[in-house]
Structure 1
């Protein structure tokens, strides 16, 4: 039980000290409000000494003292510690005959205390921060209930003053925290007085409007000078309507930021109506990135629509031309399916990037997945959409022919695809790709007739890519060399 009681006392004392520090009153300068109370209490009770004493962990410190010059004394010799311990008023009629105080240096020496009456200074949560006390150098009878009640009333007045101080500290801390939060959130708050045109700012104003906002944006007219000239008319119309009709203010416009160039801001505000005036209060938020994304999305959708039209046109041409080359329905379906697979590989590459360009390596990985005995090597290049489609169709025709008639028709055959691109400083630099089949059955020579697949390859290389294609039927298999102007950059 004793151990539990000690823990409770230690917990209560820790809570009391934390509460005392909340008020941030220790070691502050003297204040007229407190001094008037101690003087009034001393006069009212005809006491030579009156103190507002705050009890810290090892001392009692006097926020106000009447009739005593020392600023503090040690806690272990203080009378006020007993008020803290007993949590109620303490009165000592004659300290010289009280066993608790007869040897106390404050009794045996200055200020020679004989009479003491102290009442608690209770905080908002019940913790006792110290005392309001009166002291005399001669013995006196205890205070009457009425006198004690008056002393407690003065203690309540002191705590009301302390509460105002604490509330002010909390308000300032909350305001500082809010301003810091606004700074980090990238939001600037503003308030416009329409009668004087004055603007007040808080938050991330420097980030959104410019570091010179305090002098350069003190009025709405000055703020208009920072708005993009093309947006003046819209902003003026919305503001005039809001002022005339008392309606909320909402507009998006550009500003000429002195450090960051043209920025887009979203402005929202509403009226704060008071007794004799109304203030337009609102926020500014930077939406430049959102606007850029919106514009980019619009461009991308237009580009995607254009690409889809091209894709449908390509599909239509393949269907139409394959019809003339097919020998029967099954052959027609097989050829169409193969070429649509090639287009699908091209679209997979484009979808894996940004719809507009694709990686050469990504395209060859798609080809390798469809035709596992094809190996490849070369630098990764960024191909535009039309080149991705053309190269996908080209590889498909070459691979399909290799499966039917070339190296891939044999289990021992394979295909190697290699390409290089000349350096930037080489005049008329070239891209060269070689398709080399090996290990298949011996080839007698070129086919007897030109197939649609051959025409499709030539059209892809010459018309779409602006290059040349050369095919040689070596004893080991087909060798196809493609030469193009080097227009593609490294991926």
Structure 2
């Protein structure tokens, strides 16, 4: 088949596309070696010089073929560092994926008009052996060149040239592996820096400690001089933790068991910090080295402490809640007129406590929003309208306000404005004044009731509960007036609550 016909078959079969994909992969492999445009290296130059002497040629090259040039990693007898790819002999060896031998370039139609043949270095003889990468891709050639025609090398000589090409690629592979290893180490060190982890190796016999990773962040910027020995490390530990950590380390040294502990250090820049250490023994022959990591757990410890405080506070709040429930149950028993009335009153007041707990659960358990409480009240008693600044109420104040609103609303449903369809309640509050004179003032105003409203003939438990909530729990005063339109209740308290 003629070359033109073969080219046509390749086009029909998608051959050009396959060749382009192969070349793309080959160039990607070449870049993996990170060797292009690097400085001369003795390991390559020794082989090139040896090949030139062995084959008695004036020029020997380690040529790597890129997109548009061939670049010489090592060269004997040639000053040029690179030449264009389109005039390169090595390009043909790369494309054909096979050794290339040209005995007389001037007699070869592929090369007789090549500027490297018609001009310096006046190539006549060329023999190039492919430099094959780990995946089979040809990256370039090890080639020998003469300015005089020569017969084709014997098979034994080509085998020798192939051996030298393999030696060069073995060196390139070692170089690539070393670069990959160094990059992996740098990546690991950066990852350790970002993750706030320091790694260390402790030689128990010499008492020496070697560090890497985020050591400056965890232990202080002077770690290189201060923490080179185990005694230096113990000096940085918090005095209250040193004996315990010594005992843990001594047990690990004596038994060969892993070393796991937590301790405080006195960081020279940031003060007391908590660290966690995990390590195990790396045994080689008679040497044993403890290899481990340290990481900062200060925030974790703080969260644990905060959780403990919160649990204690919740326990205290629950005790208060149970005490409140117990008092409501006991006192309601004396005011109830019967079992049904007792159950109704208890249920109503427990609903008020539940509203307060819903608000607390929706926040941080310790404080709650005045607006959130009023939304709970409005959901239970839809004809109550309210306005005022949102305030952050502590748990005891929130419970007191919830019980207060419940008693007022319940009375309004039974005897006041909410007992009729047209009745309503308006609740508004303000905080004014400055310093110790600041006051919280709340007004509960009923309107639209069905008839004249009068003061009750006797003081009920609900009234006592309201007064105790305001006076005892909140430290304020409560005034009630029975106006023609309904009850008006005014509450005045010291303004201790923060606006949100």
**1:434 aligned to which of 424, 443, 460:** 443
1:308 deviates by 1.2
Q: 2:216 aligns with which of 201, 206, 210?
A: 206
* 1:477 alignment partner in structure 2: 486
In the TM superposition, residue 162 of structure 1 has moved relative to its aligned partner by 0.5
Name the residue aligned to 2:271. 261
Point out the more displaced range, 398-407 or 78-87: 78-87
1: CA distance, partners of 2:369 / 2:113: 94
Q: Where do 1:405-424 residues align within 5 Å? A: 405-423=415-433
- SS in structure 2 at match of 1:427: helix
**Corresponding position: 1:302 with 2:312:** yes
Could you tell which deviates more after superposition, 148-157 or 229-238? 229-238
Cα distance between partner residues in 2 of 1:56 and 1:78: 11
Q: Provide the C-alpha distance between the structure 1 equivalents of 2:491 and 2:112, rounded to a whole number of angstroms.
A: 113
Q: Which residue of 2 aligns with 1:169?
A: 179
Correspondence for 2:468 among 435, 442, 459? 459
Displacement of 1:217: 2.6
The 2-side partners of 1:115 and 1:276 are apart by: 60
Structure 2 Cα separation of the partners of residues 70 and 304 of structure 1: 82
Equivalent position SS for 1:29: coil
Does 2:393 match 1:383? Answer: yes
One of 339, 361, 380 as aligned partner of 2:371: 361
Matched, 1:249 2:265: no
Aligned-pair distance for 1:211? 3.1
Distance 2:400 2:436 in 1: 25
Which blocks of at least 5 consecutive residues in structure 1 are unaligned?
A: none
> What residue is the counterpart of 2:198 in the other structure?
188
Contact persistence 2:452–2:486 (CA under 8 A):
yes
Deviating more after overlay: 299-308 vs 101-110: 101-110
Match in the other structure for 1:49: 59
Residue 115 (str. 1) matches residue 125 (str. 2): yes
Partner of 1:133: 143
Closer, same or farther: CA 449–61 of 1 in aligned 2, 3 Å: same
Corresponding residue SS for 1:121: strand
- Tell whether 2:21 aligns with 1:11: yes
Q: Quick one: distance in 2 between partners of 1:340 and 1:409?
A: 22
TM superposition shift of 1:102: 1.8
- 1:86 equivalent among 96, 102, 124: 96
TM-score by length of 2: 0.95
- String of CA shifts for 1:314-359, please: whole Å, max 9, x gaps: 1111111111111111111111111111111111111111111111
Q: Hey, what's the Cα distance between the residues in 2 that align with 1:68 and 1:475? A: 116
Q: Which residue of 2 aligns with 1:77?
A: 87
Alignment of 1:222-301 (within 5 A): 222-301=232-311
Residue 267 of structure 1: how far off its partner (Å): 0.9
The 2-side partners of 1:83 and 1:178 are apart by: 40
Q: Note if contact 2:453-2:485 (Cα within 8 Å) is conserved in structure 1.
A: no
Distance of 2:286 and 2:11 partners within structure 1: 64
Once residues 68 and 307 of structure 1 are traced to their aligned partners in structure 2, the CA distance between those partners, rounded to angstroms, is 90
Aligned to 2:325: 315
Q: Distance in 1 between matches of 2:332 and 2:242?
A: 60
The TM-score with structure 1 as length reference comes to 0.96
Q: How many residues align?
A: 490
Partner of 2:340: 330
2:491 match: secondary structure: strand
Match of 1:2 in 2: 11
Question: RMSD across aligned C-alpha pairs, in angstroms?
Answer: 1.5
1:341 maps to which residue?
Answer: 351
Aligned-residue offset at 1:226: 2.1
Give the secondary-structure state (helix, strand or coil) at the position aligned to 1:443: coil
Deviation at 1:444, TM superposition (A): 4.5
1:123-150 deviations in Å (ceiling 9; x for gaps): 1111111111111222221111111111
The Cα shift of 1:259 comes to: 3.0
Equivalence for 1:402: 412
Distance 1:25 1:276 in 2: 40
Picking from 199, 215, 228, the partner of 2:225 is 215
Aligned mates of 1:166, 1:333 — CA distance in 2:
84
Give the stretch that moved more between structures: 229-238 or 437-446: 437-446
SS in 2 for 1:85: helix
Deviation at 1:75, TM superposition (A): 1.6
Q: 2-side partners of 1:305 and 1:103: how far apart? A: 96
Q: CA deviation at 1:366?
A: 0.8
Deviation at 1:260, TM superposition (A): 2.6
Q: Show the counterpart of 2:40.
A: 30
Whether contact under 8 Å (2:453, 2:487) holds in the other structure is no
